[in-house]
Amino acid sequence: MCYAIPGKIEKIEDNTVIVDYFGEKRKALNELAQVKVGDYIYAQGGFVVSKISESEAQSILSVWKETFFELQEVDLRLSRLSLNDNDADKKLLGVLDKASQSKELTRDELLYLLELKDNNALELLFKTANFLRQKYHKNSCCVHGIIEISNYCRQGCQYCGISYHNKELKRYRLTKDEILEAARDAVEVYGFKSLVLQSGEDPGYSALELAEIVKGIKEKFPALIFISFGEIGTGGLEKLYQAGARGLLMRFETSNPKLYQQVHPGMSLESRLEHLRKAHEMGYLILTGGLIGLPGQSKEDILDDIFLAKELHAEMYSFGPFIPHPHTPLLRHPPARVEEVIKVLALARIIDHTNAKILVTTALETLSREAARSSLLAGANSLMLNVTPLAYRPFYSIYPNRAHQSEDISTQIESTINLLRSLGRAPTDLETI
Ligand code: SAM
């Protein structure tokens, strides 16, 4: 987004470049044909996405120069951790102290954290996760844009408002031109550097057509492209990778095969996992995770979910609450509780402290307007803004009353910038080296 900071290439080794951000060195993969040492670039998700002129870079950097270090100070202050609370439970302090030293926690210790209910205990857990986030990721926060290109879906996921169960829903499918126009706005007008293209499992687009769309975006509006079209098969993944897609957003939803079967009739967990594994082998960045609050889901299941996301090489963890939709079979099942979800984000940070980018989902923001702030202070470091044309957004009704549904992009960007500034976060999503 426009909040992104350009970096200067310091060194090139094969297809890897070392990028300087005000003295901090970060690493990215380069696939652009013509870059040389001294060029200014934008990078996202570990990939160089575009080059910009020195004069343009200098003018953006001069605005950032002051604030870059001020933000780091704010973040450092907000993420300080003190585990000297005499009133706190000794077991809790012991486990969190171990976590804060980046030591691996046992399964029992992790389950104990997942079971916490007391507000003071939760606050200490969240602070520990925030401390680890700062220690390994500094104040980086990545911000993606998402375009929901179609709400047609051939699957019958029991919780999902765009599954074929919902006969009340008006269906839409953006044309190639509409998608390119939305991508143009996101990249050229609003400055997004990475875009997620998402839809239900819509047989109305062939893999070839989707590949044409991705190629069209890559050629005209350089950005890191993530695809999220469900299970499109190995052939589909290959075509889209060749077209320039570099990330796959696909949750496995739950690691419990029995529960998976129950809420996804006719689908198979193994095939979804196979899809994720194949995508990783092909070089896709993997964004995955699950739904919290499914019927009968246990704390053990949730812990397994976090470990499964790690095993699948999640570049980004996407865990969000189940929210009931009135036109689905799960209409009467209650939504997940906000603290339960933030606990999962904190645990993901503790389990995968060095690698994880952890997303604050719109579903969580739908349950609480404070959730983005609370999650960013509990280990999360990633956001996704909705850049779908406003006219279509109400129809991408996976659950009701989605947060930001009727907010235009500028409003979302403005409130995101204000939030990130207040927390001392900066939109450089490459890891320091
Ligand atoms: N078709 C793609 C796929 O299969 O991954 C992407 C579209 S799907 C609608 C996107 C995500 O919406 C799912 O991974 C699911 O977790 C989430 N979702 C669907 N219904 C939901 C609900 N009622 N509450 C919260 N999240 C929901």
Q: Are strands 47-52 and 142-150 parallel, antiparallel or unpaired?
A: unpaired
Res 420: pLDDT: 93
- The response to whether residue 291 sits with its C-beta less than 6 Å from ligand 1 reads yes
Q: Given pLDDT bands bounded at 50, 70 and 90, which one contains residue 34?
A: confident
CB of 253 within 6 A of ligand 1: the answer is yes
In order, the DSSP letters of 285-340 are EEEE-BEES-TT--HHHHHHHHHHHHHTTEEEE--EE----TTSTTTTSPPPPHHH
Residue 88 pLDDT level (bands cut at 50, 70, 90): confident
- In the reported structure, the alpha carbon of residue 248 is separated from the centroid of ligand 1 by a whole-number distance in angstroms of 14
Ligand 1: nearest atom to the Cα of 324:
23
Show me where the domains of the chain are located.
7-77, 137-423
16 and 25 Cβ atoms separated by less than 8 Å:
no
Pairwise CA distance, residues 139 & 70, whole Å: 11
Rounded mean pLDDT of 55-77? 89
Asked if residue 432 has pLDDT above 50, the reply is: no
What is the mean pLDDT of the segment spanning 322-331?
A: 97
Predicted structure pTM score: 0.95
Is the CB of 322 within 6 Å of ligand 1? Answer: yes
Tell me the CATH number for domain 137-423.
3.20.20.70
Distance 398 CA to ligand 1 centre (A): 6
386-390, 400-404, 429-433: which range is least confident on average? 429-433
Residue nearest to atom 7 of ligand 1 (CA): 200
pLDDT of residue 104 exceeding 50: yes
- Measured N-to-C along each axis, helices 107-114 and 299-311 cross at an angle, to the nearest 10 degrees, of 120
Q: What is the pLDDT of residues 195-206, one digit of tens each?
A: 999 999 999 999
Residue 430 has pLDDT above 60, yes or no: no
Percent of the chain with pLDDT over 70: 97
Q: Which of 28-32, 106-110, 252-256, 350-354 has the lowest mean pLDDT?
A: 28-32
CA-closest candidate to residue 350, choices 48, 105, 1, 92: 105
- Residue 191 in this model has a pLDDT that exceeds 90: no
pLDDT (0 to 100) of residue 426? 85
pLDDT at residue 183, rounded to an integer: 98
pLDDT of residue 352: 97
The pLDDT assigned to 281 comes to 98
CA of 410 to the centre of ligand 1 (A): 25
Report the C-alpha dihedral over residues 31, 36, 38, 39, rounded to 10 degrees. -50
> Which of ligand 1's atoms lies nearest the C-alpha of 321?
25
Ligand 1 pocket test, candidate residues 149, 151, 159, most atoms within 8 A of CB: 159
- Residue 244 predicted with pLDDT over 90: yes
How high is the pLDDT of residue 68? 84
What DSSP string describes 135-165? HHHTTB-EEEEEEEEE-------TT-TTSTT
**pLDDT tens figures, 276-288:** 999 999 999 999 9
CA of 242 to the centre of ligand 1 (A): 26
Q: Which of 353, 358, 408, 366 is nearest to 383 (CA)?
A: 358
Q: Is 17 close to ligand 1, i.e. is its CB under 6 Å away? A: no
- Residue whose CB lies within 8 A of the most ligand 1 atoms, among 149, 154, 232, 291, for a mutation test: 291
pLDDT of res. 433: 38
| CB 383 near ligand 1, within 6 Å | no
Q: What percent of the chain has pLDDT over 90?
A: 82
Residue 388: predicted pLDDT: 98
Residue 22 has pLDDT above 90, yes or no: no
Topology of domain 7-77, per CATH? SH3 type barrels. (2.30.30)
What kind and span of H or E run contains 81?
none
Mean of per-residue pLDDT scores for the chain: 94
Smallest CA separation from ligand 1 atom 25, residue: 322
What is the model's pLDDT at position 25? 87
Q: What pLDDT band is residue 1 in, cutting at 50, 70 and 90?
A: very low
Residue 291 pLDDT: 98
For the cut 50, the answer to whether the pLDDT of residue 431 exceeds it is no
Distance 303 CA to ligand 1 centre (A): 20
Instruction: Find out whether 72 and 56 touch, Cβ atoms under 8 Å.
Output: no
Q: What is the pLDDT of residue 318?
A: 98
CA distances from 310 to 27, 99, 294 (A): 22, 17, 21
